[in-house]
C-alpha cells in the first residue's frame, strides 16, 4: 500500500491525515512516480482552509501539486519517459504521497545534478513567475519592480528577469535584503516611505513594468505611481481587485482564467528552470524538510510565515 495525505473536511492544518491508499496503477498516458519529495505551496494551504474555495469534498481529497521522484511504471501510449527516469511533477493533485499516477505530459525529466528537493520546488513558483513575466513581455532593457521578492515566486522571477536582461528592483523585509542582492536584484525594504526608496533605487531610470506578489495597498500604490503603463502592472495576489485598479491579474483569485498561451508558459517554465539549475544559474532557497506525516506542521509554518524558503515533504 502507498501512503498519502488527505483531508475530509475544510479546516485548520489538523484536518490533514496520513492514510494508506491502494498502490497507483497508470491509465493510458500516465506513469507511476515513486515520490521522493513534495513541494509545499501557499495554494495548498488556501485550498485546505477554504480561503480559495473548491467544490464540496465528497471523498477524501488529496493534497499537493508539485513533486519529484522516480518513474516506476508506464501506462499505454507513453513516449519520452522511461522506467527509472527521475522526474519533476507539475499540476497534478496528490503529490503529498509516497507514489502517484501522473499524466506523462505533466512530467519533466531532471538532469542528474538536480536533486529531488529542487525538482519538487519548481512547478507552481517557477511556473507562476515565468508566465507572469512572459505575459508582461519582460526583457532586455526593462526595469522591473517586483514586490515580495523573497518569496518562492519572487526569487524565481528575479532570476528569470535578470537572465533576460532586465534590471530588477525587489521589495522585501529587512532580513531578505542580502538574498535579494545575491540573486541580482536591487533590494528595497518594505514600509513607510516605500515609493521614495524605490525611486532612489531606480536612480533616475524609468520603471517600465511591475509584478505584485505582496498584495498590500502599499505595494499596489507604489506600482501605480511609478509605472506609466498600467497594462504592464500585474498582481498574482489581488486578482479580484485588478479590474477596478486598472491592472492585470494572473490567477490570485482573478475571475479571468489564464489563456492557452499562459498555461503553456507555465508548463515550459519547469524544463527551463531545470536546465538553469544544471548550469548553476538558478538557485532555490530551502526551508525545513519534514516527513510526509508532518504535513500539518508544514502548513502551520506556512500560515505563520515562520520560516523563509521552500518547505519540502519527504515520504
Q: pLDDT tens digit string along 27-51?
A: 999 999 999 999 999 999 999 999 9
- Summarize pLDDT for 239-262 with one digit per residue, the tens: 999 999 999 999 888 999 999 999
Are the CB atoms for 169 and 211 separated by under 8 Å? no
Segment holding 217, helix H or strand E: helix 217-226
- Summarize pLDDT for 13-32 with one digit per residue, the tens: 999 999 999 999 999 999 99
Mean pLDDT of 209-234: 97
How far apart are the C-alpha atoms of 209 and 234, rounded to whole Å?
8
pLDDT score, position 252: 85
Instruction: Specify the pTM.
Output: 0.96
Q: CATH: 3.40.50.720, 3.30.465.10, 1.20.1050.10, 3.40.630.30. Which one for 128-260?
A: 3.40.50.720
pLDDT score, position 259: 96
End-to-end CA distance of the chain: 13
Domain ranges of the chain: 2-121+284-314, 128-260
Q: Would 2-121+284-314 and 128-260 be classified into the same CATH topology?
A: no
Assess whether pLDDT exceeds 90 at residue 147. Answer: yes
pLDDT score, position 152: 96
What crossing angle do the helices spanning 152-163 and 123-135 adopt, rounded to 10°? 50
Are the CB atoms for 252 and 236 separated by under 8 Å? yes
Q: CATH: 3.90.180.10, 3.30.2130.10, 1.10.10.10, 3.30.360.10. Which one for 2-121+284-314?
A: 3.90.180.10
- Summarize pLDDT for 90-146 with one digit per residue, the tens: 999 999 999 999 999 999 999 999 999 999 999 999 999 999 999 999 999 999 999
Amino acid at each position: 500500500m502507498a501512503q498519502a495525505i488527505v483531508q475530509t473536511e475544510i479546516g485548520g492544518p489538523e484536518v490533514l491525515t496520513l492514510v494508506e491508499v491502494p498502490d497507483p496503477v497508470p491509465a493510458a498516458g500516465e506513469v507511476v512516480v515513486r515520490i521522493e519529495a513534495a513541494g509545499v505551496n501557499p495554494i495548498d494551504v488556501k485550498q485546505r482552509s477554504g480561503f480559495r474555495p473548491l467544490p464540496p469534498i465528497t471523498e477524501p481529497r488529496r493534497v499537493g501539486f508539485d513533486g519529484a521522484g522516480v518513474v516506476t511504471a508506464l501506462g499505454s501510449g507513453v513516449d519520452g519517459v522511461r522506467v527509472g527516469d527521475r522526474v519533476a511533477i507539475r499540476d497534478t493533485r496528490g503529490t503529498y504521497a509516497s507514489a502517484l499516477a501522473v499524466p506523462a505530459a505533466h512530467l519533466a525529466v531532471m538532469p542528474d545534478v538536480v536533486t529531488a528537493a529542487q525538482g519538487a520546488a519548481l512547478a507552481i513558483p517557477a511556473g507562476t513567475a515565468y508566465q507572469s513575466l512572459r505575459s508582461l513581455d519582460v526583457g532586455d532593457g526593462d526595469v522591473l519592480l517586483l514586490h515580495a521578492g523573497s518569496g518562492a515566486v519572487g526569487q524565481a522571477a528575479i532570476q528569470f528577469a535578470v537572465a533576460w536582461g532586465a534590471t530588477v528592483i525587489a521589495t522585501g523585509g529587512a532580513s531578505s535584503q542580502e538574498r535579494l542582492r545575491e540573486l541580482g536584484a536591487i533590494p528595497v525594504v518594505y514600509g513607510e516611505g516605500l515609493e521614495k526608496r524605490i525611486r532612489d533605487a531606480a536612480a533616475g531610470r524609468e520603471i517600465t513594468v511591475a509584478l505584485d506578489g505582496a498584495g498590500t495597498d502599499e505595494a499596489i500604490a507604489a506600482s501605480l505611481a511609478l509605472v506609466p503603463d498600467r497594462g504592464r502592472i500585474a498582481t498574482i495576489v489581488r486578482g479580484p481587485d485588478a479590474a477596478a485598479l486598472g491592472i492585470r491579474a494572473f490567477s490570485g483569485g482573478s475571475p479571468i482564467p489564464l489563456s492557452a498561451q499562459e498555461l503553456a508558459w507555465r508548463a515550459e517554465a519547469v524544463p527551463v528552470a531545470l536546465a538553469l539549475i544544471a548550469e548553476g544559474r538558478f538557485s532555490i532557497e530551502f526551508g525545513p524538510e519534514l516527513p510526509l506525516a508532518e504535513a500539518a506542521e508544514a502548513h502551520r509554518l506556512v500560515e505563520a510565515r515562520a520560516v523563509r524558503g521552500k518547505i519540502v515533504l519527504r515520504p
